[in-house]
Structure 1
Amino acid sequence: MASKASPPPAGIYVPVPTFWAKEGTSNYDPVSPPLDLETQTEHSLFLVKGGIKGLVILGSTGEAIFTTTKERTELISSQRKALDDAGYKDRPIIAGTATQQIDDTLQIIEESKAAGAEYAMVLGPGYFAPATSQNGIQLWFEAVANKSVLPVMIYHYPGVTNNLYISPATFEKLAAHPNIVGTKLSHGIIDDQTLIAASPRIDHDHFYVFTGMGQNLLPVLAIGGVAAIDGLAGIFPRIVVRLFTMFNDSAAKGITQKDMQAMRDLQFRICEGEKLVAAFGVVGIKEAIARLWGMGSRTGGRLPLAGGFQEGEKEWNKWAETFQGLKELEEKFKSEGKES
């Protein structure tokens, strides 16, 4: 039997946005603005200094479907070099794939490895979701994992895969594959997450369950999930890392009522911020990063996401108080120096 690949280290990961050149720069193109690797690196270092365990590059938040092969390679290789040069060689890069065809997926994984990625996060094939059986899903992922040059994580995000559903029973079968090492569950079906993260039929030392929603972090940790791959952590890394650390530290010594209340309070604050991420996705994340930390542009992504908030200041004003409070909490945690 083939030896089992190891999952990525436990911790909070960020599905990073891809930063494009700003309006007014010499190389700006309103249809396909080029990569802004300087800002990309600034943001990557901001995250790892805040305790983020690793980066997911070219996931949904990274606008993977809007990038060229050349840009994918540039993006991954530049950030691998930036992390290494800054002394963060231990922070893995997980490369997203968003194709439907098995050979194309394998090629993207191979190119991602050559560029410096350590894991592949493979989005489910959702084009024919209504007609796709659980057996078909299982065979598709197994075909990818059999030939993948990187350990595979299953990316289950019904919101971008035509509501493709992967059942807990299918996850149990896929988790047994030696080259499938985990999943990112980007949905709020807590009972399904429990049936995967707490399943006695899964080797949880080999197969890690990450929630893709920071608003579910505390309950997912409680049912056996490992951590989160979370968009809000791309804005407030220390806040999300702090909840992860609080849970694991208190679980190790015995969770008290005081510990539980502190974790609930922090989860509540995270949930307030996650409402923006849930409502606007990468557009909201970029808006917040630009406004709060001065990185990147508020004009959103590539077409059709370009333009940022449609109602501009009016929309941001709905969130300003919550996000200013979260910024102050992030800065408080930074001053304590526990997560860097």
Structure 2
Amino acid sequence: MSTLLEKRKSKIFNFHGPIAAPVTQFDSNGNLDTSKVFEYLQHLVKIGTKGLYLSGTTGEGLSLSIDEKFQLIDAWRKALDRLPAEDQPLTIVHASSTVVGDIVKYIKRAEELNFDCVALLPPLYYRPTTKELMVDYYKQILNLAAPDMPFLYYNNYTTSPLNFEMEDFIELALDKIPQLCAIKWSHYNLHQFSNLQIRFGTRIKICPGMNEILLSTVVFGCDAPILSTLSIPEFANWFKSLDQAVKRGDLVQARRDQEAITLETIKLRKVGYLTGIKAELNRQLNSLGIYFGVPRSPVYIKL
């Protein structure tokens, strides 16, 4: 492992704090609009965000062309560079696509722009039949695109189940992929989550990605959730309160915070999760002159 990769991985592993998955802003015609990225970033920093997870599920990365993805992270890089160095959040760029060549191009651009980490889902359609094939898939992409770029494995419940045991895959991946340093756990399976945390928690950062199981994951010591709702001030405040309550042993307050998070998440899911998040942000941040638009088809549900 190179010294540079080791240093970058250490930054991810030792990171603590909430990581927001920003939504991507579109204008009223559905075109990418990066004109207010800095204002959005200022809002996120103000409400306590310590990290960013760009162009993921919430950021509609899979609905963006490769050129749009370049425009998006270019805009975020320019916005980040306007902040003092001590205020700049940790940055993770989600790069999944069905086109491997685009994944490589996007990771290369992310490294050129000095983002901290790259995230990838498993292949979305043609699924590897063995853990060895999936390890080879990631290894070839990362070595070709950015050998010194830390890698976060994105486990999303919509891409499960795999054709092999998750724990066996992670064990092999840690042995064969030096860039692997973190997992985004967007799954309701707490049994498997606890197994992973117990087996690999001293070797890899596990970042919870589901609102509804947040308390359980924080109790396990996971202190860097990646959540789509952390752009909304109330959710950011509930997480901070929950995290602090767990640390001081106040599980009554922690349960209250979890209940508030869960109930509001249910409300968002009833109208369409991403649609609801964008609608709430449009309402709350309108005074800052920020408009997020609506999600691109086929996600958008007319309200």
Task: Report the TM-score when normalising by structure 1.
Answer: 0.76
Residue in 2 that maps onto 1:19 = 25
Q: 2:77 aligns with which of 80, 94, 113?
A: 80
Find the residue that maps to 2:27 and give its secondary structure.
coil
Pairs within 5 Å for 1:277-288: 277-279=268-270, 280-288=272-280
The structure-2 alpha-carbon separation of the partners of 1:102 and 1:74, relative to structure 1 and needing over 3 Å to count, comes to closer
C-alpha deviation, 1:241, in angstroms: 3.2
**CA–CA separation in structure 2 for the residues paired with 1:197 and 1:243:** 20
Task: Report the TM-score when normalising by structure 2.
Answer: 0.84
**CA–CA separation in structure 1 for the residues paired with 2:124 and 2:111:** 24
Residue in 2 that maps onto 1:238 = 237
C-alpha deviation, 1:77, in angstroms: 2.2
The structure-2 alpha-carbon separation of the partners of 1:60 and 1:69, relative to structure 1 and needing over 3 Å to count, comes to same
Residue in 2 that maps onto 1:109 = 107
C-alpha deviation, 1:52, in angstroms: 0.8
C-alpha deviation, 1:216, in angstroms: 1.5
Pairs within 5 Å for 1:122-271: 122-129=120-127, 132-149=129-146, 150-159=149-158, 161=159, 163-164=161-162, 167-176=166-175, 177-199=177-199, 202=200, 204=202, 206-236=203-233, 237-247=236-246, 249-250=247-248, 255=249, 259-271=250-262
RMSD, aligned CA: 2.5
Residue in 2 that maps onto 1:43 = 40
- Larger displacement relative to structure 2 (274-283 or 104-113): 274-283
Residue in 2 that maps onto 1:318 = none
**CA–CA separation in structure 2 for the residues paired with 1:54 and 1:180:** 18
Residue in 2 that maps onto 1:292 = 284
What code does the residue aligned with 1:223 have? F
Gaps of 5+ in 1: 23-28, 313-340
- Larger displacement relative to structure 2 (214-223 or 99-108): 99-108
Greater Rg by CA: 1
Instruction: State the aligned residue count.
Output: 287
Find the residue that maps to 1:37 and give its secondary structure.
coil
C-alpha deviation, 1:154, in angstroms: 0.4
Find the residue that maps to 2:81 and give its secondary structure.
helix
- Establish whether residue 54 from structure 1 lines up as the match of residue 51 from structure 2: yes
Find the residue that maps to 1:198 and give its secondary structure.
helix
The structure-2 alpha-carbon separation of the partners of 1:203 and 1:301, relative to structure 1 and needing over 3 Å to count, comes to closer
What code does the residue aligned with 2:130 have? S
What code does the residue aligned with 1:291 have? R
**What is the percent sequence identity of the aligned residues?**
22
**CA–CA separation in structure 1 for the residues paired with 2:39 and 2:161:** 35
The structure-2 alpha-carbon separation of the partners of 1:262 and 1:41, relative to structure 1 and needing over 3 Å to count, comes to same
The structure-2 alpha-carbon separation of the partners of 1:296 and 1:40, relative to structure 1 and needing over 3 Å to count, comes to same
1:114-164 deviation line (CA, Å, top 9, x unaligned): 2342210111113023x63233222222333444422110011131x3754
